[in-house]
Every structure is written in C-alpha cells, then in structure tokens.
Structure 1
Amino acid sequence: MMKSLSLSERLGYAGLIPFVLIGLAVGIGVEGSAELFKLYSVLILAFMAGGCWGVEQANPEKIDNTLLALSIGAFLWGCIAYFLPINVAVLMLLVGFVLLLWIEANPLFKSAYEESYKKLRLILTSVVLAMHVFVFLSTNYSA
C-alpha cells in the first residue's frame, strides 16, 4: 500500500507544475512564456533562500555567517538574473538553485530537516534544474 504524501510533499510537487508547464510552453514557442518562466523561477529561488535564512535564524548557536550571506546572496543573484536576457538568466537561476542545495548540505540543515524532506528536495531540485536546462536549450537552439 502506498503511503500518502505529506502536505509539504504535495505542495512541493505542485510547485513543479508551473516549472514544467511554462517550460514546455517555452519549448513550443508560446509568446511571453520565457519571461513567465524566469519570473516564476526567481520567485521560487527567493522563497527557497528565505527558507534557508529561517533555518539559520532558528539556530543562532549554530549559525554560520558564510551560509547566511550565501542565502541572501542567492536571493540577490536571482533578482539580478530577472533583469537579464533569458539565456543568461536561466543559467544564473540554475546556479542559484544549486547553491541553495549546497547550503542545505551543511550539518545545520542535516539536523533541521527530516530525511523525507531531504529526498523530496533533491527530487524537486533535479526537476527544476532539468527544466532550466530545457529552457536554455529551447531559447538558444530552437528553429
């Protein structure tokens, strides 16, 4: 029998739907879809960076100033990416998501997150990164 998904898992997977649908729209050339993909990506990157900030703030005795600065930096990186052409922005945003995943590999996060969330996060980020690569290829190598 399958275990039912937690609310975090359902919301996480639901958050992938816009990445996939908008990314596919970019692939088939729907007007405005590349800008919408970029916007959604920036918003999710900012949300995830805020989550890292929250974990760090909730554990002041274990806080690492470098990780704190990198969390803020990921948010600012995404803001800058928003104002750049899509082919540059999607690569920058991809780097931002990888940076957040790297931050979450720190022992502070390993103790803050349950194993099921770590697995979920890896799955979600993998799909997000794949969609960024797809959008990059679609916007640079389409006919």
Structure 2
Amino acid sequence: MTPWHSRLGYAGLIPFIGLSALALQSFPGASYWLLTYAALILSFLGGLLWCASLNRQVPTHALFVSVGVMIWAWVWLLMPQFSWYLPGAITFVLLWLYERIYLSDAYPREFMRLREWLTGLAALSLFLAGSFATPGV
C-alpha cells in the first residue's frame, strides 16, 4: 500500500464530512448528495471484494456479498430520502466487520487499519446527519 492510498482514502471523507455539515444546516440538496455519494462509495467497496475474488484470495461468498452490497446501495436511492441515513451507517460498519472477520488475511494490515478509520468516520457522518438533519431537505 502506498501513501497515496491513505491520502486518497482520507480525501474521500471530505464529501462525507462536508455534506453532513450542510445537511445539518438544511442546505437544499445536501442530504441527497450525501446519500448518493455514500451509495457510490459502498458500491466501490463492493467492487474491491469482487476484484479480490478474481484472484481467489477470498472465500467465494465474498463475490456474492460484493454484488449484494451494490444492489443494496442502489436500493437506497429508491427509498424515501430521510430513511437512508441509519441503514447507510449500519451497512458501512457491517461490511467492515465482514471484511475484518473473513478477509483480514487477504488484505494488507495497513489497508484494514485505514478501512477502520474511514468506515468509522463515514458511518459517524451519516449517523449524525440522520440524527439532526431536517427530513426532506
């Protein structure tokens, strides 16, 4: 893993934090942008599982989890906007736990540490935005 992996990973938190702050201030569109970004990032994480399964570095069920995660993220976009926050935060944490339990040997230790921080902050951003944001904004 290079320093760029960490830098880009942490840079990916900027939209989570910034859009959560805007959602908390009832900025028009911020909730939709935040949750769409979260769905895209979750799909990206599912793609990482898909890629790892190509080399058979991970159990076969990781392939099915990768597809399930992407479909679940798409379903968010069909749900009423305000109901996305908690499922989104929980999904990020559950995916991280899945990777930690089943895939920790397949990924570099630094990557798992990075994922821990990124997942925690992304989930916290979604949770806080959902706890205090105005519905429908």
TM-score, normalised to structure 2, is 0.88
Query: Which residue pairs with 1:136 in the alignment?
Result: 130
Amino acid aligned to 2:85: V
Kindly provide the amino acid, as one letter, of the partner of residue 99 in structure 2.
E
How far apart are 1:79 and its partner, in Å? 0.3
Q: Structure 1: which 5+ runs fail to align?
A: none
Q: Which runs of 5+ in 2 are unaligned?
A: none
More contact order relative to length (CA 8 Å, sep ≥ 6): 2
Q: For 1:91-102, what aligned pairs fall within 5 Å after superposition?
A: 91-102=86-97
Q: Is residue 19 from structure 1 mapped to residue 13 from structure 2 by the alignment?
A: no
Identity of aligned residues (%): 26
Deviation at 1:66, TM superposition (A): 2.6
Q: CA deviation at 1:124?
A: 0.5
> What letter corresponds to residue 126 of structure 2 in structure 1?
H
Alpha-carbon spacing, 1:115–1:63, altered in 2? closer, same or farther (3 Å): closer
Matched AA of 1:71: S
CA gap 1:65/1:112 in 2 versus in 1, 3 angstroms? closer
Please tell me the root mean square deviation across aligned C-alpha atoms, in Å: 1.8
1:76 corresponds, among 71, 74, 86, to 71
Given that residues 25 and 133 in structure 2 are in contact (C-alpha distance below 8 angstroms), is that contact kept between their aligned partners in structure 1? no
In structure 1, the partner of 2:39 is 42
Tell me if 1:111 matches 2:105.
yes
Aligned partner of 1:129: which letter?
A
Whose radius of gyration is greater, 1 or 2? 1
The Cα offsets for residues 48-88 of structure 1, whole Å up to 9 and x where unpaired, read as 110111112222xx543333212211111110011112222
Change beyond 3 A, Cα 1:95–1:133 = same
Decide which of 81, 85, 101 is 2:80's aligned counterpart: 85
TM-score by length of 1: 0.85
Question: How many pairs does the alignment contain?
Answer: 134
